[in-house]
């Protein structure tokens, strides 16, 4: 029986250097965007040099960003699905779970991504990541509204539009400077959610 070294370093709790790079890069890139982060910033974060990054990511900054952005979208999607799942049934519970997840994560600035980051990437990368955003996040939330509509919990509406508007509204809470936050992002998201729910004619349990 042969034990591979890379199986050991990938064991839980001992993240590989590659993972550590991805973590730091993801945080920096998602906070500031592609253009505003240098490879030296990422190296400094890990107490190493930017040259070391090229061993793990031969494709350089673009490849690193593309991988990091895709990873971020997938993580957002998984967390969203898990939060919705864990919330059980009922539109209000599901949306609160989804919103709590979104504000617990670094901001996902879709305006910056579409207007600034993606145009800097090869079309193939940009297109793939944009499709993932649509598929893993927007469609996932849209399905929640469709389910609620089908069971009579809410009135008729454009579920895709409402899902998108909700993400934008909740994510925008991240733009409140930390010193100006008199309540937690979670509480504020809940209050906004309740307004939207009422606007959709929400009644618990639906027509049943």
Q: Which one of 161, 181, 184, 205 is in contact with a second copy (CB under 8 A)? A: 161
Q: Which one of 44, 136, 188, 206 is in contact with a second copy (CB under 8 A)? A: 188
Contact between 32 and DNA per CB under 7 A: no
The beta strand positions in 36-106, using DSSP E, are none
Residues 6+ apart with CB under 8 A from 171: 102, 107, 108, 109, 110
Q: Which stretch binds DNA (CB under 7 A): 31-39, 84-92, 99-107, 182-190?
A: 31-39
Q: Which stretch binds DNA (CB under 7 A): 58-66, 120-128, 160-168, 184-192?
A: 58-66
Which of a second copy, DNA, none interacts with 130 (beta carbon under 5 to 8 A by kind)? a second copy
d(CA 134, CA 5): 38
d(CA 152, CA 149): 5
CA atoms within 13 A on the CB side of 140: 23
Contact between 51 and DNA per CB under 7 A: yes
Q: Interaction with DNA in 90-119: which residues (CB under 7 A)? A: none
Q: Which one of 111, 122, 135, 152 is in contact with a second copy (CB under 8 A)? A: 111
Length of the chain: 208
């Amino acid at each position: 029986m042969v034990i591979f070294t890379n199986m050991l370093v990938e064991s839980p709790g001992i993240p590989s250097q590659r993972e550590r790079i991805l973590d730091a890069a993801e945080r920096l890139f998602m906070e500031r965007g592609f253009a505003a982060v240098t490879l030296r910033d990422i190296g400094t974060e890990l107490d190493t040099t930017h040259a070391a990054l090229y061993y793990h990511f031969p494709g350089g900054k673009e490849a690193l960003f593309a991988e990091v952005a895709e990873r971020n979208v997938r993580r957002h999607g998984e967390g969203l699905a898990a939060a919705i799942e864990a919330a059980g049934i009922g539109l209000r519970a599901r949306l609160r779970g989804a919103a709590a997840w979104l504000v617990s994560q670094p901001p996902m600035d879709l305006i910056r991504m579409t207007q600034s980051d993606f145009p800097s990437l090869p079309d193939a990368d940009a297109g793939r990541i944009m499709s993932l955003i649509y598929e893993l996040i927007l469609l996932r939330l849209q399905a929640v509204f469709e389910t609620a509509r089908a069971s009579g919990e809410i009135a008729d509406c454009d579920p895709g539009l409402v899902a998108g508007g909700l993400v934008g509204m909740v994510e925008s809470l991240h733009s409140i400077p930390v010193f100006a936050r008199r309540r937690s992002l979670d509480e504020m998201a809940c209050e906004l959610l309740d307004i939207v729910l009422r606007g959709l004619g929400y009644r618990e349990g639906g027509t049943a």
